[in-house]
Amino acid sequence: MRGSPLFLCLFSVSFWVTLMPTTGDKIFHFGACRVSMSTAEIRAGFTAIKANIQSRDPVRSLSILSHPHPLNRVKSSDRCCIIHHLLTFYVDKVFKHCTTEDSFVNRKISSIANSFLSARRKLGQCREQNNCECGEESTEKFKQILTNYEGLNVTSAAMKSLGELDILLDWMEKSR
């Protein structure tokens, strides 16, 4: 039985390691909700395909995420709501219409989509506990994003939104 304390110690360490965020994950505070995700991993995947995606964007005169600056000055209390809307927007609208003939690009898009889906699921749990309420400001800002998106055909809008992913990631990093 001399190995029992060692076994208990190893078991305890392995238990705590499973509770910790994986390497590269950051904890984001969106209002009262906390979500861990690896923006570095998402950014690396996006960087690998950014030139390809942005070259498919036929409309250079419009921005979906930054015109007229819908993500600027979002109140702390509205961050949970707006990020939940944005993650849902990307999962339900953008990623579904971003397929290319390049399997590498498609795999990267799928990986990013899975990360967004996971983060949305975590935010959904927080929302179920009524910790993520939508104020008028966040609702209006998201409506502006939808208006910008719906002003284009589905494929162009999806590619443009994916091409602007760095705007969203930068905003998320700043709102930490």
Name the DSSP letter for residue 74. -
User: Do residues 106 and 99 lie in contact, with contact meaning Cβ atoms separated by under 8 Å?
Assistant: yes
Residue 165: which of 104, 115, 102, 107 has the closest Cα? Answer: 115
Give strand pairing partners of 70: none
Give the angle 166-94-52 at the CA atoms, nearest 5°. Answer: 55
Task: Answer yes or no: are the C-beta atoms of 97 and 158 closer than 8 Å.
Answer: yes
Q: Are 6 and 79 in contact (CB under 8 A)?
A: no
Chunked in runs of 10, what are the mean pLDDT values of the chain (176 residues)? 45 39 70 86 95 88 77 79 92 93 95 94 84 82 92 92 92 79
> What distance in Å separates the CA atoms of residue 46 and residue 49, rounded to the nearest whole number?
5
CATH class, range 4-174: mainly alpha
Give residue 102's pLDDT: 94
Please report the pLDDT score of residue 121 as a whole number: 92
Q: What is the pTM of this model?
A: 0.80
